[in-house]
Amino acid sequence: MLRRYVPVIRRRLGVVVLGLAVGFLSAGVAHAQDAPKANPYVFAGDGALLLNFIKADKTADYEMIVGKLKEALQKSEKPERKQQAESWKVFKAAEAGAGGAVIYVSVISPAVKGADYTVTTILAEAFPTEAQELYKKYAESFGTPSGNLLNLTLLSDLSK
């Protein structure tokens, strides 16, 4: 007599297990979508390489921003900003990018772990009254694509 009910119980148990699995997976996906995205300009690795593609007619604006960034890092009272200044170099490539963009390369090595390298944040700390104007010039200088960011982990230091 019990044999007659076993397939029904198995089927119901399977439906319950399937329902629970779908529920857990759905909750996990919803939670992941709600979680704030990490700041891509806070580096956990050993260094970073940032390529910025700047419109050819906006290089003076971009280079002015880089000058203000240098000033902001050097005059900051925060020790991590001083460390960032020591390990952050900006180069201008001789080669042109897509659509004639001028390529600027930031080499950050070593990266100050946990420090925020967001240019606009650093500028706003040092120049709060100029922040909006600086942000506008900075944002308008980027071409398409705007850039690439690479988080780096040291494989080998060939100097040692």
Q: Is the peptide bond before 145 cis (omega within 30 degrees of 0)?
A: yes
Residue 95 has pLDDT above 80, yes or no: yes
Residue 50 has pLDDT above 60, yes or no: yes
pLDDT score recorded for residue 19: 44
Mean pLDDT of 2-14: 49
pLDDT (average), residues 40-55: 95
pLDDT at position 26 over 60? no
Average pLDDT over residues 114-128: 96
18-27, 115-124, 135-144, 147-156: segment of lowest average pLDDT: 18-27
Contact 111, 49 (CB under 8 A): no
Of the candidates 94, 135, 136, the residue with the CA atom closest to the CA atom of residue 118: 135
* Secondary structure of residue 110 in the 3-state scheme: coil
Q: What is the CA radius of gyration of the chain?
A: 25
Model confidence at 44, pLDDT cuts 50, 70, 90, reads: confident
3-class secondary structure, 88: strand
